[in-house]
Amino acid sequence: MKMQANPELARQVLRRAAEAKVAIAEVPRFDVDDLTHELHVHQVELEMQNEDLRATRAMAEAARDRYRDLFESAPVGYMMLRKSGRISEINQTGADLLRIAPTQATLGYFESFVALEYLFRWHRLFTKCLDSGVADQCELALVRSDGTRWHARVRCQRAPGPVDACRLVLTDITDLEEARGALQQSRDELEARVQARTAEAVALRNAADAANRAKSEFLANMSHELRTPLHAILSFAGIGAAKAAQQDSGAYSLGQYFDRIGTSGNRLLALLNDLLDMAKIESGHLQFDMAKRDVAAITSDVLVEIGVLAKARGVEVAFEATTGDPTAWCDTLRIGQVIENLLSNAVKFTPSGKRILVTLSAGDLPSDAAAAEGDTRSALRLTVSDEGVGIPEGELDAVFDKFFQSSKTRSDGGGTGLGLAISREIVWAHGGTLTATNNAAGGATFVMTLPRQPMAD
């Protein structure tokens, strides 16, 4: 039978049920007065009430056992602490975590399980929770009754009620702590390794820089040292050739020997000049005398020298200017050196009977970094287009590398593979560009673009 919430209503229901039960039992109605009947009904009523109470009690006990079981075998440890810090109640999981019997635990103080170096932290948490009533948590190292250490996250909350007490929830985070330790260790190892590698890389870079500096200085010094006696050799070869020409009359004259000395000496001088320029570029010592210069005039001067060589090889050289303003912001000597290199290459790699065309036109260059994207600045473009062997497509950029010679011309001999590398460095230092392409009809075209105005810093 279900208990009613309203006691009066419950009583009436019970009364009716008892009356019905008496009627069903066909209790004989004696000819006694109603009182006897009333007593009987009351008795049955009481028995039924008793039965009801027993059932309710059994239900309450079952619920209590269920909750007790939930409490005892919860995955975390629960305990109640008095204000003094003494454990007044603990669940089985909590007792297991501390490795003590629950009865034993209730005799002790929680702080006796806290590792010494964590006592201050524990007291701070406990006092704060007791004083403020605000729940909080911290991580502590705890020591079990058998002396082993473990790590717990401890949540502390003041328990409701008149007596000052706190509820503690203990979660075992030993695995997490160990994983953190392992992670920290591997981080430290990694850090140490990175530092060692960085130190190694820095040492290597310093050594490489020092070697590079030493090499550049050596080249600069040696080029000077070698050039001086070479000039003497060339001058005396020249004088000797002139004198021998006056005296010789044989088929293979002394003069021809002097000419060969002179030619070889000049090649050696060109090589030394390239090495000296490269050394200067690499050590940042290449100087420029910048101003607004007439590039058409510079080109014409170079063409005078190259024209002799081209004529000797049977190659025609033409020059056209399609811009009314042939000026650029540049160094006459250095830009002359670039044009000479482009032209001497063109003559070298163009067969007899073919033509080289040099043009000057207006061009543009991408603007400096500070300006808006897509902006350009006015420039002067010089192209040297030949009808020679051309450059293999995959090597159009590599020809500007130091000591590189294309697979089409490698067997030709001569040349150092430094000319274009130096030329590009010179043009870049001017804020310009130097590129190579192939002509559809054969041969190569080199394009040098130079700014007309000085670069913004």
Report the interface residues with ligand ADP, using CB under 6 A: 341, 345-346, 349, 386, 388-391, 399, 404-406, 409, 415-421, 444
Please report how close the Cβ of residue 270 comes to ligand ADP at its closest, in angstroms: 9
Please report how close the Cβ of residue 384 comes to ligand ADP at its closest, in angstroms: 7
Nearer to ligand ADP, 133 or 351 (CB): 351
In contact, 350 and 445? CB cutoff 8 Å = no
Tokens 């059994």 -> residue: 58
Tokens 């061009």 -> residue: 363
- The angle subtended at Cα 405 by Cα 400 and Cα 410, nearest 5°, is 165
Nearer to ligand ADP, 345 or 433 (CB): 345
Burial class (CB in 10 A: 0-12, 13-18, 19+), 114: buried
Nearer to ligand ADP, 307 or 417 (CB): 417
Please report how close the Cβ of residue 278 comes to ligand ADP at its closest, in angstroms: 11
Nearer to ligand ADP, 218 or 403 (CB): 403
Q: Which two tokens stand for residue 326?
A: 């042939």
Please report how close the Cβ of residue 408 comes to ligand ADP at its closest, in angstroms: 6
Nearer to ligand ADP, 273 or 367 (CB): 273
Please report how close the Cβ of residue 457 comes to ligand ADP at its closest, in angstroms: 30
Please report how close the Cβ of residue 447 comes to ligand ADP at its closest, in angstroms: 12
d(CA 53, CA 55): 5
d(CA 344, CA 317): 11
C-alpha torsion 326→327→333→335, nearest 10: -70
Tokens 């020409």 -> residue: 245
Burial class (CB in 10 A: 0-12, 13-18, 19+), 348: middle
Q: Which two tokens stand for residue 243?
A: 């004198």
Helices 419-429, 332-348: crossing angle, 10 deg rounding: 150
Tokens 């000591």 -> residue: 403
Please report how close the Cβ of residue 395 comes to ligand ADP at its closest, in angstroms: 8
Nearer to ligand ADP, 7 or 394 (CB): 394
Nearer to ligand ADP, 87 or 391 (CB): 391
